[in-house]
């Protein structure tokens, strides 16, 4: 694994002159942020050695290098999911590459179902913590100390200083947001009503099929994380109609203006 990560990283360093410290993972329907990246350079996942390829609608499958407000960034326009049949090491492989490439801060986003009844579709939620309901962990197996410790700490999975910075930016821009706990499941089915009631009882405010593996590995590697969920639908038992991926992407795109404005100004503040 280590040699593969080094090979991928060397390819990227030879392909682009950009050396960003900030990375962004764009969830379903949130890829429009790349329209606000200046001096773009795009690399298809299929052209990157050892990289998986996105297979889900709303995930274009590109690494986008460029600048936001003069700050160098790299954005993942499309991510990988456990339900696509990838192993957890494959799902989280880009995080290992990001660290090797020099990334220090990660902004991760997702589309999620709202299990908190005070939320509405289109709500942006600042993730305060997460619950792993995948039934597995991306760090299971032999540990490579060159990456990180055998038993990484998850006390502050989503860094408080980054959350405080994000809240300050949102307040200054007049962007409404909630704060809550994200629960990650394998998918690809949407949750049953009984599962939603159970997850809500566990403390979940939003439920999705990503993010937890990536954030776990980012913490393991020593990358500081900020997370934002776009609530695209209300969870089963709360919603009044059946779910569809098309509706999820559509609502995410409609909430995209506030999301993009928020992330752009967070990046400027980080820089």
| Known catalytic residue at 218 | no
Catalytic residue among 41, 83, 133, 239: 83
CA 101 to chain CA centroid, nearest Å:
18
**Per-residue DSSP letter, 99:** H
Catalytic residue among 54, 229, 233, 265: 233
The one catalytic residue among 1, 132, 245, 261: 245
User: Is 111 annotated as catalytic?
Assistant: yes
Active-site choice (54, 110, 116, 210): 210
Give exposure, 169-189, as e/b (b: 16+ Cβ within 10 Å). Answer: bbeeeebebbebbbbbbebee
| 3-class secondary-structure state, position 254 | helix
Q: Are 77 and 26 in contact (CB under 8 A)?
A: yes
Question: Is 182 part of the annotated catalytic residue set?
Answer: no
| Catalytic annotation, pick one of 72, 84, 191, 195 | 84
Known active-site residue 83: yes
Name the active-site residue from 28, 116, 219, 258: 28
Q: Which of 45, 72, 81, 220 is catalytic?
A: 81
Enumerate residues 6+ apart whose C-beta is below 8 A from 99: 147, 218, 221, 222, 223
Spell 98-125 as b/e; 16+ CB within 10 A means b.
bbbbebebbbbbbbbbbbbeebebbbbb
Q: Identify whether 115 is a catalytic site residue.
A: no
Catalytic residue flag (residue 233): yes
209, 234, 252, 255: the active-site residue: 209
Active site residue 239: no
- Cα separation, 211 vs 132, whole angstroms: 10
Would you call 209 a catalytic residue per the annotation?
yes
Residue 139's φ and ψ, nearest 5 degrees, are -100, 5
Instruction: Single out the catalytic residue among 23, 45, 54, 59.
Output: 59
Catalytic residues: 28, 59, 81, 83-84, 111, 209-210, 233, 245
């Amino acid at each position: 694994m280590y040699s593969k990560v080094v090979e991928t990283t060397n390819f990227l360093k030879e392909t682009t002159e950009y050396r960003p410290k900030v990375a962004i993972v764009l969830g379903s329907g949130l890829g429009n942020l790349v329209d606000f990246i200046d001096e773009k350079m795009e690399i298809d996942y299929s052209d990157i050695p050892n990289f998986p390829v996105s297979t889900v609608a709303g995930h274009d499958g590109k690494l986008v290098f460029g600048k936001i407000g003069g700050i160098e960034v790299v954005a993942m326009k499309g991510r990988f999911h456990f339900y696509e049949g990838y192993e957890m090491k494959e799902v989280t492989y880009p995080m290992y590459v990001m660290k090797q490439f020099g990334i220090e801060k990660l902004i991760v986003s997702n589309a999620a179902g709202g299990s908190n009844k005070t939320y509405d579709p289109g709500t942006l939620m600042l993730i305060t913590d997460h619950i792993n309901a995948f039934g597995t962990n991306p760090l299971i197996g032999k540990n490579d100390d060159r990456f990180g410790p055998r038993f990484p700490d998850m006390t502050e999975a989503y860094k408080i200083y980054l959350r405080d910075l994000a809240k300050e930016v949102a307040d200054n821009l007049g962007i409404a947001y909630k704060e809550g706990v994200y629960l990650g499941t394998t998918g690809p089915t949407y949750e049953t009503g009984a599962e939603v009631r159970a997850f809500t009882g566990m403390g979940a405010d939003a439920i999705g099929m990503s993010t937890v593996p990536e954030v776990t590995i980012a913490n393991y590697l020593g990358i500081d994380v900020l997370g934002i969920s776009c609530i695209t639908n209300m969870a089963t038992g709360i919603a009044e109609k059946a779910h569809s991926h098309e509706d999820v992407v559509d609502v995410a795109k409609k909430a995209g203006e506030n999301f993009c404005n928020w992330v752009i100004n967070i990046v400027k503040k980080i820089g």
